[in-house]
Structure 1
Amino acid sequence: MQVLDRVELYHVAVPLPAPFAPSWIPGTIREKTTFTLVRFTTDDGVDGWSAFPAAGRERAGLGDPLASLFLGLDPTDLDLVSERIHIMAVGGSFNWWLEPAIWDINAKTAGLPLYEFLGGGADRLKLYASGGELKDPMARREEAEARFAEGFETMKVRVHDFDEAVDIEAITDVARHMDGRMKISVDCNQAFRLTQNGGAPLWSLDRAKRFADAAADAGLAWVEEPLWGEWHEAMAELTAYARVPIAGGELHLAGYAELERMVKLRSYAIYQPDAMWAGGVKQCLDVAKLCRAEGVRFTPHCWSTCYGFIVNAHVFAASGFAGEELYEYPLAPPGWVPEGRDGLFTEPMLHDRGWFAMPRKPGLGVEIDPDKLAHYGTCYFRASRREVHWMPEALARIG
């Protein structure tokens, strides 16, 4: 029987080509994409990879739990893998991002791309361009024109102002400017608050209703995360009220259990769980099945790392919704572009006139460039079923 035999952890910091100011973290300028990278290897030499955002040493203590909880496991026992992730959560840390690395192993062992291993057949995904920064009206018009020229038919913009009139004018202006040539959607980023570097508005249900009215009048395709993520009943009231689809669900750490309740409540019209946060590949596919049974929409969120994009692409390609919905394509030039986000890979994951071709190689289908890993990455933990190696000198070098 194949078992997980070794594990390695890296901190990776890849420079972006230009500074990037994410709208959901006010006051933050990113000049690098930084993440924790995990590599599991089986006793017969099959490896699986995944990654999750990390500024520096916040996951420095992850190695010992990984070694004690995962090494020796049968990688095909995904229920036990999920149970071990729950055990880690009891200690205060959700790590659903680890689970896709095990799926990478299983699909490689089967010699299939992950989405085919999961029973999916969608080898091309139609995309929407997902902008990540706040912009003044003229810059936002220019952004929409650029994405339209590149072949995208839908673009998502961001709003995050304390003054609701500013947010309403932002969506109204760009929709009026594009005049039906391109669909516009909007992410309000109200489901969570990342205020470590700057203040952020907290919308009430009344404000969300007024914004939804304006979005419907402007003809927007959907409104994403207009309320705090734990307000399930309030979101259901908003969804029932709104004349525009309400979307969300990306960071619900309890996974299927919480999302099932939200689907049954009709908290959203479109559910967007991210496998790296909201339960892993298996639970997100279970959510997709539930969405189908309940007659609501499904398409994953994927803003995080190079692995966040490709893991959720496989989920979407296997979900049964790929022929009906659009998949998110993060794109915020000049800073957040595929060449920067995917800078660890042998080649970036590019779109072709608003379409993404799923990789044909086994597993997740992406390859790490070993020279880039050596240059941008620091291995700080390595363990096998026989021995454990911490690298304190490596940890000291991580910012």
Structure 2
Amino acid sequence: MSYLGWRNYWIEPAFWDILGKEKGKSLWELLGGRGGEVKVYASFGEVMGPEEAAEKAFSAFEEGFEGIKLRVHDFDEDIDKGQVKGVSQALKGEIRIGVDANQGWRVTVIKDAPLWDLERAKRFSDFCYEMGVEWIEEPLPMDDYDAQSQLKRYSKVKIAGGDLNSGGYPEFKIMMEKDCYHIYQPDATFCGGISQCFKIMKECEERGNFFTPHTWTNGIGFAINLHLFAASKSRNSLLLEYPYHPPSWTPDVRDAILESPFIHKNGKVKIPEKPGIGIEINWKTLKKYGKRFFKMTKRSLIFYSLRERGLKETIELGRIMKR
């Protein structure tokens, strides 16, 4: 975890995929989990008005989802509350409701966005409790550990977070020591890879915290985090995030890089059984939309090593490559 430069966490799962294929075991088997299927919740990707939010939630309910997650992101607290109230009035007691405030990483690329403080987060927490909301996600900046801890102690609604915290296990251990969240949601493609996320998961279990990873990337990221969730105890009580906001964000779009998208059936997703991560890349799609930014063969690696590291280290590299 400690090095300068580009943090290539997203490439670490490829080595797990190789290991699984070499041993003939699925990733969840390597992690000591179990297969089958897991329950997922419909994670909406857009801020909506009360009526649209209620319609989306009801559609998800009819599809068999047991849970949904809304997104609030307005300067006006009443507008945020209106969206939650619309869904609560339509489906309170029928579906598990989560709300993402997106304050962990304040997105202001397109336009300005609200910045919550502890008092606003407390007010929203009180309101969500009245509305029957099960969890609130990222209600405060990702590095404001003290405020997160205060909110967690105050709130009657579970507080979740850690989506984009990229410091891996060391950072999450600090967060757990400070008691920042009820539910920890690292993403293996952002926070150090599968190895780091697995350690975070185990630390959660030892401390009595919940674990359900963030999955809002693409089909590859979803698959990686699906395997981690399959190895967690939290799969028995929590739902896994399923990015879903038709018609703009659907499995065929989200998982376009895969030969077979992850399609839920009555709010459940089957865990891959093939060795490794258990997915197949759609090479036609990758060729059409992807861009290669690095290429190295064994031959070019040897020449590079000779030029940059010398003969002694190149000989050692050769020994390693033959193992």
TM-score (norm. length: structure 2):
0.90
Aligned pair count reads 302
> How far apart are 1:181 and its partner, in Å?
1.5
Equivalence for 1:10: none
Equivalence for 1:115: 28
Mapping of 1:130-145 within 5 angstroms? Answer: 130-145=43-58
Instruction: List per-residue Cα deviations over 1:136-188 (Å, max 9, x = no partner).
Output: 11111110111001000110011000111111222122111113221211000
Equivalence for 2:19: 106
Equivalence for 1:48: none
2-structure distance, mates of 1:208, 1:147: 27
Question: Is structure 2 residue 239 aligned with structure 1 residue 326?
Answer: yes
Q: Call closer, same or farther: CA 1:380–1:280 in 2, change over 3 Å.
A: closer
Equivalence for 1:183: 96
Question: Is structure 2 residue 319 aligned with structure 1 residue 385?
Answer: no
Contact 1:122/1:323, CA 8 A, preserved across alignment: no
Runs of 4+ in 1 over 4 A off after TM superposition: none
Mapping of 1:348-367 within 5 angstroms? Answer: 348-367=261-280
2:231 is paired with a residue whose SS is helix
Instruction: List per-residue Cα deviations over 1:233-280 (Å, max 9, x = no partner).
Output: 100000000010000011111111110011121100100111111121
2:291 is paired with a residue whose SS is strand
Residue in structure 1 matching 2:195, options 282, 286, 302: 282
What is the letter of the counterpart of residue 184 of structure 1?
A: I
Equivalence for 1:346: 259
2:235 is paired with a residue whose SS is coil
1:104 is paired with a residue whose SS is helix
Mapping of 1:34-49 within 5 angstroms? Answer: none
Considering only aligned residues, what root-mean-square deviation do their CA atoms show, in Å? Answer: 1.4
The structure whose residues are more often helix, as a share, is 2
1-structure distance, mates of 2:282, 2:11: 20
2-structure distance, mates of 1:228, 1:162: 16
Equivalence for 2:155: 242
2-structure distance, mates of 1:153, 1:115: 24
Contact 1:110/1:117, CA 8 A, preserved across alignment: no
1-structure distance, mates of 2:36, 2:199: 20
Mapping of 1:217-296 within 5 angstroms? Answer: 217-296=130-209
The structure whose residues are more often strand, as a share, is 1
> How far apart are 1:361 and its partner, in Å?
1.0
Equivalence for 1:13: none
Contact 1:131/1:158, CA 8 A, preserved across alignment: yes
1-structure distance, mates of 2:201, 2:281: 29
Instruction: List per-residue Cα deviations over 1:66-123 (Å, max 9, x = no partner).
Output: xxxxxxxxxxxxxxxxx5xx43xx12x2221111111111111111111112211142
2-structure distance, mates of 1:195, 1:297: 30
Give identity over the alignment, percent: 43
Contact 2:182/2:210, CA 8 A, preserved across alignment: yes
2:236 is paired with a residue whose SS is coil
2-structure distance, mates of 1:251, 1:371: 30
Is there any run of 5+ residues in structure 1 with no aligned partner, and where?
Answer: 1-82, 389-399
Mapping of 1:59-98 within 5 angstroms? Answer: 86-87=2-3, 90-91=4-5, 93-98=6-11
> How far apart are 1:131 and its partner, in Å?
0.6
Deviates more, 1:281-290 or 1:240-249: 281-290
What is the letter of the counterpart of residue 217 of structure 2?
A: S
1:135 is paired with a residue whose SS is coil
Instruction: List per-residue Cα deviations over 1:295-323 (Å, max 9, x = no partner).
Output: 11111011012211111001111123222
Contact 2:35/2:273, CA 8 A, preserved across alignment: no
Contact 1:122/1:322, CA 8 A, preserved across alignment: no
> How far apart are 1:328 and its partner, in Å?
0.6
Equivalence for 1:304: 217
